[in-house]
Amino acid sequence: MRRFHSLLITLPLALLMGLGLLFAAARDDAVAVAALPPGHPALSAEEVSDWMAWLSENAVYLPFLRGLGDPARVPTTANDFYLPGTQPGGLQTEVTDPVQCYGCHFGYLPANPDGETGYTWTGSMMAQSARDPVFYAALDVANGDAAEAGQFCLRCHAPRGWLAGRAADSSGVSLMGADLGGVQCEVCHRMVDPFYSAENPARDVDVLAALADAPTVLGSGAIVVDPEDERRGPFDLQLDWDTNPHSILGLDWPLQSPFHTEAALCGSCHDITNPVFSWDEGSQSYVANALDTPGDVSEGFPLERTYSEWLLSEYNTPQGVYAPQFGGNEPYVSTCQDCHMRKVTGSGGSFFGNMVERDNMPLHDLTGANTWVPLTLPLHPEFGDDFDQTGLAALDAGIQRARYMVQNAGILDVQQQGNQLIVTITNETGHKLPTGYPEGRRMWLQVEGYDSGGNLVFTSGAYDAATGELTEDANLQV
């Protein structure tokens, strides 16, 4: 009998240190700030200078923060982090560089960029998951805690490189330029449902049968990717197009895949289990597996449970929940995609000027809650040059969408009862709020009280943006 644990339990595997000075600008701060697109949230010159000074003083060559070769606290091996599914070197055709997709999937709706796929994806954290400086800090800590742990992290954050075998060095130092595109077009559009059902492409049967070790549990990046360049998506393009738009590349018609509309697709990386530990019924606790031995991930230590939280939510119903603030053109939302790829009016691409406009086009931003990392990337000493003005504008648009998502994720209600102020937060999401990475995401209420003269007389949960310190008190919950 499998035992599923939905609690979020922290583990030093990826403990995020308080790195308020995580990145630095290699360019002059005034030039870097000037490079931001109009309307981009401001970065102070003093902050930028401080970050540059920190970089210089510590002689850090980002993105790799720790000295290579430093011994880890736990002598784990790559086998300890092994998971089933498609393995490194298992693709006959490498995942295509996203730049190769831009010819048809970028810049074709200048008056409605949200209706494009390439523009919105470029501004997403999915596109930046292998540039994220916070990720590299956590990766460094993970490798310092447990040898080879970084391979486990890179399989989701840099899947193109991982699938090609360039994550064997768990620091990520072997990743190539296109690998930094993170969770990119073909990673998702070649994914196969690991648990075949008849509505999915018949080809999936052969893909799964060819695996030496097929997944038995969803999650932790144990994905199945078509070894050949056979692309999939939610729509039947043969109903809309007279000519296969991918024929110019020598490819077959893209396959229609209902899996790409299901939350399970997202759950492939958004339910994370530490495979080094397993549940022991005898001791009623998690114990370390034998060294250099793959564990049973169905019994592993739960780290992140966003998908499992959704499974247990009211959103996981055929009708879903009425939430027009999330759904775009469709007011009822159910799956991850319904909120994080809300339906807009747009087109998936342009083939020599020919487009099929849809009112249910999924917004390819995969919007989450991260506003800080996209703000820092233009000033990053290594990755900052990856963004031209269009890329900077895409990042800024992604920041605005993430800010909107956070502002609508909960409802704040304030009621006065006598001398008491009752503050209630109602979670409007289909998972915990916050959810995901437990070592790096926190929420709290900052409550301020003023007298009749407008003077501040009470504060609970005061956060000092200059120092990064949170003043805690007896009433505060984090």
Answer for the pair 155, 139: CB distance below 8 angstroms, yes or no. Answer: no
* 104 Cβ contact partners less than 8 Å away, ≥ 6 residues apart: 245, 349, 350, 351
Q: Considering the entire predicted model, what is its pTM?
A: 0.84
Predicted confidence at residue 468, as pLDDT, reads: 84
Predicted confidence at residue 69, as pLDDT, reads: 54
pLDDT digit string, tens, across residues 165-206? 999 999 999 999 999 999 999 999 999 999 999 999 999 999
Predicted confidence at residue 50, as pLDDT, reads: 55
- Residue closest to 323 by CA, chosen among 431, 443, 409: 409
* 307 Cβ contact partners less than 8 Å away, ≥ 6 residues apart: 218, 219, 263, 264, 266, 267, 270, 271, 336
| H/E run at residue 120 | helix 118-122
Answer for the pair 439, 17: CB distance below 8 angstroms, yes or no. Answer: no
Predicted confidence at residue 474, as pLDDT, reads: 83
For the chain, list residues with pLDDT below 70.
1-70
Locate 307 and state its tokens: 């998908």
Sign for the pseudo-dihedral over CA of 174, 94, 335, 8: negative
